Amino acid sequence: MALKEAVRRKLDEFRPRIARLTKEHGKVKIDEVTIEQCIGGARDIRCLVTDISYLDPQEGIRFRGKTIPETFASLPKAPGSEYPAVESFWYFLLTGEVPTQAQVDEVLADWKQRQEVPAYVFEIIRAMPRDSHPMTMLSTGIGAMQRESKFAAYYASGSFHKLNAWEYVYEDACDIVARIPVLAAFIYNLKYRGDVQRPIDPALDMGANFAQMIGQGKEYMDVARMYFILHSDHESGNVSAHTTHLVHSALSDPYLSYAAGLNGLAGPLHGRANQEVLDWTLKFQEKYLGGEEPTRELITKALWDTLNSGQVIPGYGHAVLRKTDPRYTSQREFCQKHLPGDPLFKLVSMIFEVAPGVLTEHGKTKNPWPNVDAQSGVIQWHYGVKEWDFYTVLFGVGRALGCMANLTWDRGLGYAIERPKSVTTGMLEQWAAEGGRR
């Protein structure tokens, strides 16, 4: 397949660069670590490598060197759509090259061969209590599918070779990205639509097929394409991408690795914040408005009440970003075009006007601006996907693209098992007293 050969070509070009960096410049310092960083979640320490995406604190994410608007503008669009097919973006993420339509068509055809989820996976999820969180169902489904792993079979075959191993990661990666929307749609229909399932439509691209599988129409097809692409990757240090990379560094296969990544994504400070935003906003409507129009004063009061009760304002703040997340802006522009009069969009826009000022006055967060999660639920709500505990599953479908592209490259470049060094509190106290580690 052309995509696999393109990845092989790229890896062949890259390997000498990694070898030269390690052998000739391996001792060059690129960072130093403070006690604050050691205790405070390793913030900003430069110790991971990826070429799939890079996050600038001011500008936001670039996928393979392109901003979000540049990415959307440059990739071939899905038929009759303003957005690229996810398959087109996948080619781009894996290779850094904008595919031709013929190359996109080849990925589309390839994914159709891969997208069936084995029946036993559905049965395992069906056996779970119906009120299990859909993220638990998603990570269980991905973990259960591990028996299909071509990488695990290759490792067990006894003929494992470091240089070839990426090919099997690539195969698992393609299977996972093709199957995860089908699994997600199954969970949606199981939990919220009485287990009335819709079959895959083989004529549709990934985003469009997901839309039809959850009973949505044409406009939502673009929502799905946009949503999955926007959520795909945020360089390597975020919890889901880092967890996936870490687990795979022990040569755990991509299924085990991404199930772990999804469990991290399910945390309220990470991907689950999109669920929390909707929850916060609807509770605000219920508790503070009682059917009346929102005002800046009422929003300010609700924000302070949340902060004073020791909770975070979901959808605001970021570990790296110091400006409004361009993924927020991109979704906001979609809303301005497609749902300008939506009451929830208006409310979220008003929160956007007020929250940065309140958070600045509160004085704790380093970034008072909205992140991706502050806007995403509004769009889902507008199109009738009102089961907000499902929103992180949508994030997880998109994030699979970035995590799987990264794993393919991790293995292709033979990255080592990850094993940072820990120290004791006593050591930190000693180095603090001595003014640094000697």
Does position 62 interact with ligand MLT (CB under 6 A)? The reply is no
Stretch that binds ligand NMX, among 241-249, 283-291, 307-315, 407-415 (CB under 6 A): 307-315
Closest to ligand NMX by CB, 146 or 238: 238
Residue 238 tokens read as 């975020």
Q: Does the active-site annotation cover 318?
A: yes
Closest to ligand NMX by CB, 179 or 270: 270
Among 145, 213, 319, 405, binds ligand MLT (CB under 6 A): 319
Among the residues of 193-295, which ranges form H helices? 206-213, 218-230, 239-249, 254-265, 273-284
Residue 396's binding partner out of ligand NMX, ligand MLT, none, with CB under 5 to 8 Å set by partner kind? none
Among 182, 208, 302, 319, binds ligand NMX (CB under 6 A): 319
Contacts of 396 (CB under 8 A, 6+ apart): 135, 138, 180, 184, 240, 262, 265, 271
Q: Which of 231, 245, 270, 382 is catalytic?
A: 270
> Half-sphere exposure (CA, 13 Å, Cβ side) for 47?
16
In b/e form, how buried is each residue of 378-408, taking b as 16+ CB within 10 angstroms? bbbbbbebebbbbbbbbbbbbbbbbbbbbbb
Does position 88 interact with ligand NMX (CB under 6 A)? The reply is no
Does position 269 interact with ligand NMX (CB under 6 A)? The reply is yes
Q: Kindly determine how many residues on this chain lie close enough to bind ligand MLT according to the rule CB under 6 A.
A: 7
Cα 251–chain centre separation: 22
Helix (H) / strand (E) containing 406 = helix 391-412
Q: Does the active-site annotation cover 270?
A: yes
Does position 234 interact with ligand MLT (CB under 6 A)? The reply is yes
Does position 366 interact with ligand NMX (CB under 6 A)? The reply is yes
Among 371, 376, 380, 408, binds ligand MLT (CB under 6 A): 371
Among the residues of 157-196, which ranges form H helices? 165-192
Look at the alpha carbons of 234, 236, 238, 240 in this order and tell me if their dihedral is positive or negative: positive
Least Cβ distance, residue 401 to ligand MLT (angstroms): 12
CA distance 235 to 95: 16
Residues 269-288 that bind ligand MLT (CB under 6 A): 270
Contact residues toward ligand NMX (CB under 6 A) are 269-271, 273, 307, 312-319, 364-367, 371-373
| Catalytic residue ranges | 270, 318, 373
Contact residues toward ligand MLT (CB under 6 A) are 234, 238, 270, 319-320, 371-372
